[in-house]
Amino acid sequence: MLDLLGYNQNFVLYFGILLAMGSVYLFARMLLEEQESRQAAETLDELNQRKASSKLLKYTRPFFTQYIVPMIRGKSFWDSRRIEYKRKIISGGLKDELTPDEFIAFKAVLIVVFPLILGVLKALDFLDLSSIFIFLSGILGWFYPDFWVKSRIEKRQKEVLKSMPFIVDLLALSTEAGLDFVGAMNKVVEKAESSPLVDEIEQVLKEIKVGSSRAEALREMGNRLNMQEIGSFVAILISADQMGASIGKTLRQQSDQIRSERFVRAEQLGAAVAPKLIVATVVFILPAVFLMVTAPFLISFLG
């Protein structure tokens, strides 16, 4: 009887310990799940607040950031691609929108998104496409981000070339008025309209404030923009600074040279338009004029 009573007491004790451990486990799991859900909500809010210059990027980013990026991050297979994509992202002004890993994930998810969109459109009878074309559209999905970034780079470089003469003139005027080069860049950031070149100058000022030398910050700007005109401009500024030459005089010479090059590019574009106009005239306008002139004679002759 005493043995049975002791056995029951041990059973109740062990069962109570088991229940206590289970309660602690469930309570801890509930706290962890709540923390994970809160972190997921914060991450989603952060993703929604990030800039997205493409609707396709905006709507697919929550998915590929959560599921595909973790599979790519840290993989040495993508190291060479990361360097290439990082340069393109920076040159396109997309460093606040994408990381190299996110760019790779964006390309990967579009392999599925493009066929899915075309398949839905075909099912709804909006498009009449073959199944093979829908399947192969995944290849276009992989290369679409490259075309998108390339167009962004070209657009940004055109904006830089357009604003460059005015910015260099403003830098020259500021230095001739007695400001040093850093003060002149501050004046440009304050007075000039927002443009990619002004944003890059602002980034140069930030790098100088955190400890980079003026030459290093300017070289980084040249690398980010990846343009021959900016590279030459930066190299001349660094040489003038190292040799102790007058920055104001150098900027004035650069401004004149940039305007001359801009005029030459305009002449080249104008010369390239002339053959295109001739072709358009011969193919489209001359047949219409010939028809208008000869039609009355042909009608009277046939009548």
Element (H, E) at 84: helix 79-91
Whole-number pLDDT of residue 78: 83
pLDDT for residue 137 is more than 70:
yes
DSSP state of 192: S
CB-based burial, 179-201: b 16+ in 10 Å, e otherwise? bebeebbbbbeeebeebbbbebb
Q: Where are the domains of the chain?
A: 14-49, 55-153, 158-264
**Is 70 exceeded by the pLDDT of residue 29?**
no
Whether the pLDDT of residue 303 is over 60: the answer is yes
Tell whether the model's pLDDT for residue 152 goes beyond 80. yes
Category of 99 on φ-ψ map: left (φ > 0), alpha (ψ -120 to 50) or beta: beta
* pLDDT confidence tier of residue 146, bands split at 50, 70 and 90: very high
Q: What is the pTM of this model?
A: 0.69
3-state DSSP percent of the chain in helix, strand and coil, to 5:
85, 0, 15
CATH of 158-264, one of 1.10.3470, 1.20.120, 2.50.20, 1.20.81: 1.20.81
Does the structure show a pLDDT above 80 at 206? yes
Percentage of the chain with pLDDT > 90? 4
- Residues with Cβ within 8 Å of residue 186, at least 6 apart in sequence: 205
